Amino acid sequence: MNMRVGWRLKPIVGRAVCALGVWLLTAPAAHAARISDIAESTLLERAIRFFSFSDPSLRFALAGSILLGICCGLMGAFLVVRKLALMGDALSHAVLPGVALGFLWNLTRDPVAIFVGAVLTGLLGAGTVQVIRQTTRHKEDAALGFVLASFFAVGICLFTMIQNLPGGNRSGLDKFMFGQAASMGPQDVGLLAVVTGLALGAVLLFYKELKITSFDPAFARSTGLRVQIFHYGLMLLLAFAIVASLQAVGVVLVSAMLVIPAAAAYLLTDRFGMMLLLASVFGLGAGAIGSFMSFVGRNLPTGPLMVLSASAVFLLALLLGPRHGILSRWWRQVSRSARIRRENTLKAMYQVLEENDFTTDQITIKDLAVKRRETLDEVEHQVATLKRHGLATISSTGDAACLTPAGWQRACEIVRNHRLWELYLTNAAQMAPDHVHDDAEEIEHVLGEANVQALERRLNFSRKDPHGKMIPGIEDIHAGRALSRDSERATGFGGKA
């Protein structure tokens, strides 16, 4: 890029823009969008004041934020599972011309007129997306982008035309851009309550239908459900939710409140009912935390704080989710590879014992190092790890180790798994005996008890692996450290085979 003609935010022009106030009329929306203007009080006092719920404006703002969170979380869950996340974004922009038209109806901020206008243009936007997808070659993303941009542009034009109208009460339209939870009155909260009730009622009544049409539209159609009706019903509810929430969080951030709590819930559960519940709870939490932080931290707007709280919840779910969380997955991987290392050491110890015909229960570190082809330090470290897990003991001189009963049992199991699998591969899968070792190295750590029993039955309880070594049986495993010479047991006549 040519730096001579480079980019900059020209402060003078920027100030001129603001001074002229071409766009919006009153103070910057972000300024007004905080719940309370308490100039001189400490953080603690403000926190106490928050929990006393004494300010009526706070009560409305908090109730509104909580209702908004529940309603958006619920609707957002459907968006996320239907892969319509960006539909929320497109619709929240598409309602803007409706807001302007509703305002033009009688040139006041009549909530009912604005609500009706916004819902109508929202539905028009959803319909346009559908029509573009069906009649042109454009894909969903382009259709959504088109609706988002063109409806928003129409909205901007209408807004600027309204500003140039002579007379009329124009204040307050700017709130729809960035939202202003602080200005929510009983009417707005009432509207949110009605919309939340409607959404809850619809979900409870048509839970099964909504679930089927969301996850398997083809099956739903085959059972005679009208999939399109449910799609548009959802879009209607979505438009309701968006329009009712605009007041509090504004056009851009509504889609965040729809998608982020639902996506966090999606990371945590595989059951749809649970996901709906979690999404509403996360939305509720984000609303409450957002309004708390906005009240406690001075001069901070509510909407962005709500969104960032929701993002924090998402981040936590992303990292710590029990099944899909990144940290949990990482921890599972680390502990699995540590277990495999331990089991490999145990196996080597068994093999050292076997080479000594089980005449002694001492395994010298040196023999083990030769077996593992590792340095003495590494082997000492591994044996120390075994000791920590109660699988081995170390002699007082430190140059030899013994298996504990638990360690012996696990070592036998691993060797058995390995040799059984080698035998299975050579007998049943007709593989050459010198090709089966690597495969068995992998699977010995994951074979379960049921698999082992099935393998043993399948192999007619053979006791000898393809390399002529004995396979430890159940008796060996449960024999503990007793070095018996019983001829029925692998550990009894190791090396004689």
Partner 1 sequence: MGTLIPAFDFQRCVIEPWVSDPWGTGWIIAMGFFVLAAGGLVGNYLLLRRMALIGDAISHSILPGLIGAFLIFRNSGTLVSVLGAFAAGVVTVAMIEFIHRQTRVKPDAAICIAFTSLFALGVLMISALESQGSFHIDADCVLYGEIAFVPLEEPLQFAGLTLGPPSAIRMAGILALVIAVICIFYKELLVTAFDSGLARSMGMKSGVWHYGLMGAVILVVVGAFESVGAILAVATLIVPPMFAAQLSSRLSVRLVLTMVHAAISSLLGLHLSYWLNCSVAGAMVVVGAALFVAAWAVTTLLSVWHRQQSEPESSESSRATYSIP
Whole-angstrom Cα distance, residue 182 to residue 189? 11
Rounded distance, CA 310 to CA 87, Å?
Answer: 19
Per CB under 8 A, the segment of 31-39, 226-234, 351-359, 389-397 that binds partner 1 is 31-39
| Residues 288 to 307 in contact with partner 1, rule: CB under 8 A | 298-301, 303-305, 307
Binding mask 245-264 for partner 1 (x = CB under 8 A): -------xx-xx--xx-xx-
281 interacts with partner 1 by CB under 8 A: no
Tell whether residue 394 is a contact of partner 1 (CB under 8 A): no
Question: Could you tell me the sign of the dihedral formed by the alpha carbons of 226, 227, 229, 234, in that order?
Answer: positive
Q: Does residue 138 belong to the site contacting partner 1 (CB under 8 A)?
A: yes
Whole-number Cα distances in Å, 358 to 350, 461, 489, 495: 9, 23, 12, 9
Distance CA 190, CA 88 (A): 23
Footprint (CB under 8 A) of partner 1, residues 174-193 = 174, 177-178
Residue 87 or 243 having the CB closest to partner 1? 87
Q: Which of 79, 89, 126 is nearest to 276 (CA)?
A: 79
Among 54, 106, 108, 160, binds partner 1 (CB under 8 A): 160
Q: Looking at beta carbons only, is 18 or 194 nearer to partner 1?
A: 18
CA-wise closest residue to 249 among 46, 37, 61, 6: 61
Q: Please give the DSSP secondary-structure letter assigned to residue 363.
A: E
With CB under 8 A as the contact rule, the residue among 14, 197, 390, 480 that binds partner 1 is 14
Closer of 262 and 420 to partner 1 (Cβ): 262
Contact (Cβ atoms closer than 8 angstroms) between residue 234 and residue 181: no
Q: Which residues pair with 392 in a beta bridge?
A: 403
- The DSSP code sequence of 241-273 is HHHHHHHHHHHHHHHHHHHHHHHHHHHH-S-HH
**Out of 43, 53, 59, 139, the residue judged to bind partner 1 by CB under 8 A:** 139
Instruction: By CB under 8 A, tell whether 39 contacts partner 1.
Output: no
Report the residue number, 29 or 244, with the smaller CB distance to partner 1.
29
Cα separation, 424 vs 443, in Å, equals 12
Dist. CA 82–CA 157, nearest whole Å:
33
Helix orientation angle between 96-106 and 140-163, rounded to the nearest 10 degrees: 30
Query: In whole angstroms, what separates CA 188 from the centre of its chain?
Result: 32
The yes or no reply on residue 212 touching partner 1 (CB under 8 A) is no
Contact 35, 163 (CB under 8 A): no
Near partner 1 by CB under 8 A: residue from 116, 124, 162, 227? 162
Minimum gap (Å) between residue 331 Cβ and partner 1: 15
Site string for partner 1, 351-390 (x = CB under 8 A): ----------------------------------------
CA 367-370-375 angle, 5° bins: 110
- In the complex, least distance from residue 90 CB atom to partner 1, rounded to whole angstroms: 9
31 or 485: whose CB is closer to partner 1? 31
Told to check if 274 binds partner 1 by CB under 8 A, we report no
Measure the CA–CA gap between 345 and 350, rounded to whole angstroms.
9
Strand ranges in 362-479 using DSSP code E only, listed in sequence order: 363-364, 392-394, 400-403
Would you give the DSSP letter of residue 472?
P
233: exposed, middle or buried (Cβ count in 10 Å: 0-12, 13-18, 19+): middle
Which CB sits closer to partner 1, 96 or 392?
96
Q: Is the Cβ of residue 116 or residue 156 nearer to partner 1 in the bound state?
A: 156
| Options 57-65, 189-197, 310-318, 433-441: segment touching partner 1 (CB under 8 A) | 310-318
* Minimum distance from residue 235 beta carbon to partner 1 (Å): 16
Structure tokens at 193: 């309550």
Check binding of 156 to partner 1 (CB under 8 A): yes
Q: In Å, how far from its chain's centre is CA 492?
A: 53
Nearer to partner 1, 14 or 398 (CB): 14
- The reply to whether 35 sits near partner 1 by the rule CB under 8 A is no
Which residues, numbered 56-115, are part of the site for partner 1 (CB under 8 A)? Answer: 79-80, 83-86, 88-89, 93, 104
List 49, 116, 145, 344, residue binding partner 1 (CB under 8 A): 145
Quick check: 479 binds partner 1 (CB under 8 A)? no
Site string for partner 1, 312-331 (x = CB under 8 A): --x---x-----x-x-----
Closest CA to 403 of 443, 354, 447, 444: 354
Least distance from C-beta 198 to partner 1, angstroms?
24
Q: Mark the segment that binds partner 1 (CB under 8 A) among 129-137, 201-209, 382-390, 416-424.
A: 129-137
Question: Residue 117, interface with partner 1 (CB under 8 A)?
Answer: no
Cβ-Cβ contacts under 8 Å for 150 (sequence gap 6 or more): none
SS3 call for 445 = coil
CA distance 417 to 344: 12
Residue (10 or 59) nearer to partner 1, CB: 10
Q: Which stretch binds partner 1 (CB under 8 A): 55-63, 144-152, 385-393, 466-474?
A: 144-152
- Which candidate, 221, 257, 323, places its Cα nearest to that of 74? 257
Candidate list 154, 227, 316, 483; residue touching partner 1; CB under 8 A? 154
Instruction: For the CB of residue 246, give the shortest distance to partner 1 in the complex, in Å.
Output: 14
